[in-house]
A and B are shown apart, each in its own frame.
Chain A
Amino acid sequence: MKRQGVSFTIAKKRNTRTVLSYHAMILVGMVWLILFNIVPMFGIVMAFQDYNPVLGFTGSKFTGLENFRYLFSMSDSRRVIVNTVIIAVSKLVLNILVPLAFALLLNEVRQLKFKRVVQTMVYLPHFLSWVILASVLLEIFGYKGVFNTVLSLFGAEPKIWFSEESYFRQMIIFSDVWKEFGYNAVIFLAALTGISQDMYEAASIDGCSRWKAVWYITLPGIASTIVVVAILGLGNVLNAGFDQVFNLYSPLVYSTGDILDTWVYRIGLLNVQFSLATAAGLFKSAISFVLIVISYIVAYKAADYKIF
């Protein structure tokens, strides 16, 4: 009886010490999280104010939804939202289809060494920044660039491709797909290795063609992966890629290439219309938040996918 009591006190003491060390471990991370992730969120009140930096959050006048009303009455905002959705949705679709096609084709390659070399090379652009890639792409697709040199062989007029309104969006979408296809294919390639080779052997004995094997064995084998990737992309419907557009666009292509994030940057940080820019940013964050939550719930229900 007595012994039990002693061990109980020891266990309890030990437990308090454990919990104390857990608190200590949480501390630094939590401080960082609160100061740099959470506190900035409170700046959202600016979206409902006529924010004046001199008066601060407490002194500035509250204007309710006035900023949003003004925002949606601007012709700029409509243009920007349309551009954002067109670019983002095109990227979403192509960033699944192209990597998928690439993974399927690479899977048909028989020489393993060649396969590995190709893989090593196609991952590279993902790790280079848009600043770097933009500086090179602006050269390649510039007036005296390689692209025009090649086209001139077919008698085409030289163009500055990233400065043409009618080509800018396509250039953005194409260059993003090119940068990411190798990296995006990794998840499909991993799923492909999970398909049993026995199935192919059995199919082969039954006289199945290569094309049919892809259609009836390979694709069904990675269908669930495709579904998850597609659903999780939903959260990016308003994400057209700030880094990329910011480094490639110019005032010449604002009509087709200006997106929400670049517009927020210009009206907020260059024209110092803090409240309006915050309202536009909040519009994006709020919609994205809802879409991501929906996509996680759907992914969980449909494919048993969990992130935590």
Chain B
Amino acid sequence: MVRSKSLGSKIFDVFNTILMTVLALSCIYPLWYAFCLSISSKSAANSGMVTFYPVGFSMASYQQIMGDAQFFRSFLISTGRTVLGTAFTILVLVIFAYPLSKPASEYRPRNVIMWIVIFCMLFNGGTIPWYITMVKYHMINSMVGLILCGGVPVFNLILLVNFYRSLPRELIEAARVDGAGEWRTLFRIVVPCAVPVLATLVLFTSVGYWNEFFQGLVLSSGERYYPLQTYIKQMVVNVQTTNLSMDQIETMDKLSNKSLDAAKVFISMLPMLVVYPFLQRYFVNGIMLGAVKE
């Protein structure tokens, strides 16, 4: 950028720094706010006294969660879904993308399959046909259902195909000359080259599974089977009326426990915070992959 020492330029720098700071703080505020609520006392949380710092420190919410069997069940369902789902998805993508990265001269059905895949990325049958199909497959209340029901993540598949295609041909030719079969070439040569891309895909896929709530909602017959996000969705009740009398507001406050709710929300954010540093390292090149030019 152009460096300038004029007064106007300096004033701009000051305002710019302030603006950037405010924007950045606003982005971590929800996290901080949930944390503050969760370690504040129930009465302080319910009466709206918690704003930018905890009021009336109390760990009661976390103690209460310890005894909440449903919360743990949902947490386990989400963890299982994320770990197994990510492992399965990545394995399938790694293998599926390989033949698709070959030119049609080496693998004739390649173009036809590629067009089918692209069609699946651009078009879908909508929620209702999808739901009816899942019911017919008996995917209700099942871990397999939670993992498979979203279908092949086609966009990620195409990212990977594009990456495989960008690898130098000599690399694969050399393996072939040395007598390696296609499976061995894929896992010994191609996969090690694709580690940064795969890291991106692993992170995006696991974030996707962890954050998913709608499939968990419609493919479960009861709370017992909810993944964590669905559980939290059901927990937060949106206020259904605008004209509340003071009495009604007081009653609602007595019935709800905002500190406890916030503790659950905060715990469900934690895994995201743990992977966030890794995520940050890789997702930038993940986005750039979406815009490969050949």
CB within 8 Å of B: which residues of A? 17-19, 21-23, 25-26, 28-30, 32-33, 35-44, 46, 53, 102, 105-110, 114, 117-118, 120-125, 127-129, 131-140, 142-146, 149, 159-160, 162-164, 178, 181-182, 186-187, 190, 200, 203-204, 208-210, 213, 218, 228, 242-243, 246-252, 261, 264-265, 268-269, 274, 277-278, 280-282, 284-285, 289, 292-293, 304-308
Contacts and interface: CB of A to CB of B under 8 A. Distances in A.
A40 B125 contact: yes
B95 A210 contact: no
B236 A135 contact: yes
A141 to B, nearest CB: 11
By secondary structure, the B interface counts as: helix
B99 A209 contact: no
B218 A127 contact: no
B130 A40 contact: yes
B84 interface: no
Nearest to A268: B128
Nearest to B115: A308
B34 A136 contact: yes
A235 to B, nearest CB: 8
A144 B249 CA distance: 10
A265 B233 CA distance: 16
A211 B181 CA distance: 59
Contacts, number: 300
Interface residues of B, number: 112
A186 B287 contact: yes
Given A120-B280, A128-B272, A204-B2, 17 more contacts: A17-B181, A22-B182, A33-B152, A39-B133, A40-B125, A121-B24, A135-B235, A140-B33, A142-B239, A146-B51, A209-B2, A210-B1, A213-B1, A243-B213, A264-B128, A305-B291, A306-B292
A208 B2 contact: yes
Contact of A210 (B9, B98, B214, B291): B9
A29 B95 contact: yes
B154 interface: yes
Interface string B72-102: 0000000000000000000011011011101
